[in-house]
Amino acid sequence: MANYLEIPFPRVENPFDGHIHIHKWREDGTGRLYIHGLEEYRQKCGLKYIALASLPSGNPIPVPRDVGNNIMCAFYKLANENTFAYGGFIYPSYPANAEEMKDMSLVTQLDELKEIGFDGVKMLEGKPNLYVKVGKELDGEFFENALSKMEREGTYVLMHAIDPSCFWTNASEENVKKGWYYGDTSKYPTNDALYQQVDNLLAKHPNLNLCLAHFFFCSENPEKLEEMFKKYKNLTVDITPGGEMYIGFDKRPEYFKEFFEKYKDRIIFGTDMDFTPHLESGIWLCDRVYRFCATDETLMSFDDHKIKGISLSGDAIQKIFSDNLLKKLDGKPKPINKEALKKYIKKYQHLIIDRELAAYIEELSREYL
Ligand SMILES: [Zn+2]
């Protein structure tokens, strides 16, 4: 791989990667600890800000998913300025059981995350594999109070709902291993059913400050998204790859150029990069997404497809790569409340599956709290 732009975002002030994960806390091979692990990535890419989206529940591959992820995101924020974080809901068992969650209802968890200083909430509960695990409809009773509260309080919610349609038909071997193949419709909801649930949820909470990740997988049917944008004024999408999304964009370049300009206030940049950072691929992602949006170059892109940039206006670029998300998150990362984080760790540490991680969290607590 070569031929990157020297600075990945030459025309953007305060570039902001709004969608990053941490799946591990220690680097393979070197054993390097995570607490500043993404700084090199941030600096090499010339990013001013990053946002970590915690995934405390979900498929336990490659590592167990539990409350440890929320706690690590909070520590990362504490140790690195310029870092935002979205916390996630935790479930003591699956399928989720409201009875069992009396002292940790979703509303209580929202209060706890907010008190700690999380800047928003990440929901993966609409990704089909977690959806069936949690066992609750997105527009049903279980999430109702939490959604109402987030709507009322203007909480930024980054939601992954549905998945590329090919995951229902011909998923790769790698995806099958990750539990991302949904061909068995007796077990998994259809793509349409999940679209419908998200639309219903928004009909009930039209002011929800919701960002649908990965363009809501609509690059083949963006008209659906346009309808939703018209109805819901706070709705945004991110353009985090999924490479299939860019292949969809490339099928109708004129249409998407117009779409991106028209909805330049509704589109947010992110890479879906994760720790351990693979710097080359991180820089590549930043470079591809930026060049697709900002230039008219023909690029080697995802899955070896060639795509042509749509050359958006400077105004649109600045909004998509920084301003839109910064505005949603009040302009700067919220400070971490150490007492609240301490209390949270005490309450939930028994749910950390990886005991080595639990020990590291104890160590960090001694050092930082
Ligand atoms: Zn993601």
pLDDT digit string (tens) for 46-68?
A: 999 999 999 999 776 667 789 99
pTM, whole model, 2 decimals? 0.95
pLDDT digit string (tens) for 346-367?
A: 999 999 998 899 999 999 999 9
In this model, does residue 5 exceed pLDDT 90? no
Q: Which residues contact 8 (CB under 8 A, 6 or more apart)?
A: 15, 45, 46, 283, 286, 287, 290
From the list 55, 70, 23, the residue with the least C-alpha distance to 123 is 55
366 CA → ligand 1 middle, Å: 30
pLDDT at 6: 65
What is the average pLDDT across 168-173? 77
293 CA → ligand 1 middle, Å: 20
193 CA → ligand 1 middle, Å: 21
CA–CA dist 185, 47 (Å, integer): 42
pLDDT at 7: 67
271 CA → ligand 1 middle, Å: 8
pLDDT digit string (tens) for 178-197?
A: 777 887 888 899 889 999 99
124 CA → ligand 1 middle, Å: 8
pLDDT at 240: 94
21 CA → ligand 1 middle, Å: 6
362 CA → ligand 1 middle, Å: 27
Find residue 275's DSSP bridge partners. Answer: 22
What is the average pLDDT across 222-232? 96
CA–CA dist 294, 292 (Å, integer): 6
241 CA → ligand 1 middle, Å: 9
20 CA → ligand 1 middle, Å: 7
pLDDT at 368: 96
pLDDT at 155: 98
107, 196, 237, 242, 354 from 213: Cα distances, Å: 23, 16, 6, 10, 28
pLDDT digit string (tens) for 273-302?
A: 988 778 888 888 999 999 999 999 998 887
99 CA → ligand 1 middle, Å: 30
What is the average pLDDT across 38-53? 94
Higher pLDDT, 285 or 166: 285
In this model, does residue 255 exceed pLDDT 50? yes
What is the average pLDDT across 72-87? 97
In this model, does residue 142 exceed pLDDT 90? yes
Lowest-pLDDT range, 136-140, 189-193, 265-269, 325-329? 189-193
pLDDT at 126: 95
Q: Strands 306-308, 298-300: parallel, antiparallel or unpaired by DSSP? A: antiparallel
272 CA → ligand 1 middle, Å: 5
pLDDT digit string (tens) for 205-219?
A: 999 999 999 999 999
CB 280 within 8 A of CB 1: yes
Structural domains of the chain sorted by starting position, each given as residue range(s) with its CATH number in brackets: 16-368 (3.20.20.140)
In this model, does residue 251 exceed pLDDT 80? yes
